[in-house]
Amino acid sequence: MNPSTLIAPPALVRRAEQQDTQAIQALDSAHFIHPFTDHAGLASRGARVITHADNIYVWDSEGAKILDAMSGLWCVNAGYGRKELADAAYQQMMTLPFYNSFFNTTNVPAVQLATKLASLAPTVGGRSFQHVFFSSSGSESNDTNVRMVRRYWDLLGQPQRKVIISRNNAYHGSTMAGASLGGMSGMHAQGDLPIPNITHIEQPHHWENGLPGESQADFGRRAAGWLEAKILEVGAHKVAAFIAEPVQGAGGVIIPPETYWPEIQRIVDQYGILLISDEVICAFGRLGHWFAYEKFGYRPDLVTFAKGVTSGYIPLGGVMVGDRVAKVLIEKGGEFNHGYTYSGHPVACAVALANLELMEREGLVDRVKNDTGPYLAQRFAELKDHPLVGDAETCGFVAGLVLVKNKTTRQMFDADLGVGMICRGHCFKNGLIMRAVGDRMIIAPPLVMTRAQIDEMMVLIRRCLDATLDDLRAAGQLA
């Protein structure tokens, strides 16, 4: 990376460091309801106050420098401190900070971004993506998908096609539709979810769902078969769509076997149902491609995106609308009664354009595909020799490892021990952000991470695994 493209952390933000961390924590706990947080617990511990960031590092109000192996929340693909993105926002705010795209109006950055995205989305099997619908998040985009899919089948005279099939342990957002599409039991347990006409099949997770001795290839085909079984159970004439992440992210970086996606494609084709690829995490270089469906060779009708499109610098999401759906919506549709105030927000679109330009200029997608991605895979595989690591796998710039009590028998630790959380605690103490999903430890580093920085991260990961191992031995949980 060219250091001149980095900017020093702004003085204004640095001021937070000089304030009393405890005072910020008290105000935080008094007034700020955080996402996915137990507030009583947070109040007793106090939130960590992140004050500034640069490249792949963030700093907290106590001055600790932390290597952010999660890219914020799977989104800061271009790394922190990119002046081009701040400049693009500033210039657009001074030119046209906002105007809506309802009522026959448009704006230049939104048009340019839609055109750019259409050119980046590969045509697979003769299906291209010439149209984009904009939102401000992944959740909103998946709500849009539900509306679009239903409208599509209504317009085709098949209004009974309402059911969307998803997968257990999937994450598709936190709105009513997003959380319903997702397969997180903890989310479903709060607020009578899923909403009607959404149903789930098991995830393609060989480690958890494979039979003893079953090959990855056999398991992949068998796991795809669960979709066919569900379609037949629901009644094929009632099924509208199947939605899935190319690689499940928040569920713990679940990488499907190579045989999975081709078989899924065969099934959706056979029953004529729409395929939605939720690429909120996986697009924009995360798997070494602009869009992840290209990596796995399947042909979605709708593609959800958000996060990496702006490298998280400003909220923006959307849906790439494939020809099959766009043709019906546009030619048969009349007015589609759906949209958001911020659909095609000019500042968000200007930042996205600058971000995509930066990624192209620095060749970040190719770098992940051909250089740093394979290097991360090689270094991550070395972790398999660690006594706690049952499995370690990567796909581009996402990676997951599972912490086990017994590698040979695949015996897991008692869930009450919270081994993943113990490990995550050691990560924080050692200046590393890694996420724990149960006893799976996962990463999704900024795509600008260099080979030397991968080495630096691996030293930290090993240190944290060793510290976790020491704790477990001291607690008598391991020989």
For residues 220 and 317, which CB has a smaller minimum distance to ligand PLP in the complex? 317
Torsion of CA 83, 88, 92, 95, to 10 degrees: 80
From residue 312 to residue 331, the character string flagging contacts with ligand PLP as x (rule: CB under 6 A) and all else as - is -----x--------------
Stretch of residues binding ligand PLP (CB under 6 A), selected from 20-28, 150-158, 167-175, 441-449: 167-175
- Closest residue by Cα to residue 145 from 11, 279, 255: 279
For residues 231 and 281, which CB has a smaller minimum distance to ligand PLP in the complex? 281
Rule CB under 6 A: say whether 187 interacts with ligand PLP: no
DSSP 271-295: HT-EEEEE-TTTTTTTTSSSSHHHH
Structure tokens at 405: 């009590």
Residue 212 to residues 23, 209, 335, 381, Cα–Cα distance (Å): 54, 9, 53, 22
Structure tokens at 469: 């191992």
For residues 245 and 301, which CB has a smaller minimum distance to ligand PLP in the complex? 245
For residues 172 and 405, which CB has a smaller minimum distance to ligand PLP in the complex? 172
Q: Site for ligand PLP (CB under 6 A): which residue of 161, 172, 289, 440?
A: 172
Rule CB under 6 A: say whether 281 interacts with ligand PLP: yes
Stretch of residues binding ligand PLP (CB under 6 A), selected from 126-134, 168-176, 217-225, 371-379: 168-176
For residues 36 and 103, which CB has a smaller minimum distance to ligand PLP in the complex? 36
For residues 142 and 180, which CB has a smaller minimum distance to ligand PLP in the complex? 142
CB 375, min distance to ligand PLP, A:
25
Determine the Cα–Cα distance for residues 391 and 255; give it in Å rounded to an integer: 12
436: β partners: 441
Q: Site for ligand PLP (CB under 6 A): which residue of 109, 249, 256, 373?
A: 249
- Binding residues for ligand PLP, total number by CB under 6 A: 15
Determine the Cα–Cα distance for residues 366 and 373; give it in Å rounded to an integer: 9
Q: Site for ligand PLP (CB under 6 A): which residue of 57, 171, 298, 340?
A: 171
- For residues 79 and 446, the answer to whether their CB atoms sit within 8 Å is yes
Determine the Cα–Cα distance for residues 437 and 435; give it in Å rounded to an integer: 7
For residues 282 and 365, which CB has a smaller minimum distance to ligand PLP in the complex? 282
Stretch of residues binding ligand PLP (CB under 6 A), selected from 274-282, 421-429, 432-440, 459-467: 274-282
- Direct distance between the N- and C-terminal alpha carbons of the chain, in angstroms, rounded to an integer: 45
CB 154, min distance to ligand PLP, A:
25
CB 212, min distance to ligand PLP, A:
31
Rule CB under 6 A: say whether 284 interacts with ligand PLP: no
- For residues 130 and 118, the answer to whether their CB atoms sit within 8 Å is yes
- For residues 73 and 312, the answer to whether their CB atoms sit within 8 Å is yes
Rule CB under 6 A: say whether 306 interacts with ligand PLP: yes
For residues 276 and 389, which CB has a smaller minimum distance to ligand PLP in the complex? 276
Q: Site for ligand PLP (CB under 6 A): which residue of 109, 173, 257, 346?
A: 173
By CB neighbour count within 10 A (0-12 exposed, 13-18 middle, 19+ buried), where does 35 fall? exposed
Residues 122-151 that bind ligand PLP (CB under 6 A): 137-139, 142
- Closest residue by Cα to residue 112 from 355, 363, 323, 279: 355
CB 444, min distance to ligand PLP, A:
10
- For residues 461 and 432, the answer to whether their CB atoms sit within 8 Å is yes
For residues 249 and 288, which CB has a smaller minimum distance to ligand PLP in the complex? 249
Structure tokens at 228: 């066919």
Rule CB under 6 A: say whether 69 interacts with ligand PLP: no
For residues 143 and 228, which CB has a smaller minimum distance to ligand PLP in the complex? 143
Determine the Cα–Cα distance for residues 145 and 138; give it in Å rounded to an integer: 10
Torsion of CA 98, 54, 77, 85, to 10 degrees: 30
CB 11, min distance to ligand PLP, A:
30
Determine the Cα–Cα distance for residues 297 and 17; give it in Å rounded to an integer: 48
CB 200, min distance to ligand PLP, A:
15
Determine the Cα–Cα distance for residues 244 and 170; give it in Å rounded to an integer: 7
Determine the Cα–Cα distance for residues 294 and 299; give it in Å rounded to an integer: 8
Q: Which residue is nearest to ligand PLP (CB)?
A: 138
Q: Site for ligand PLP (CB under 6 A): which residue of 66, 247, 250, 460?
A: 250
Determine the Cα–Cα distance for residues 325 and 299; give it in Å rounded to an integer: 13
From residue 383 to residue 412, the character string flagging contacts with ligand PLP as x (rule: CB under 6 A) and all else as - is ------------------------------
Under the rule (CB under 6 A), what is the footprint of ligand PLP? 137-139, 142, 171-173, 245, 249-250, 278, 280-281, 306, 317
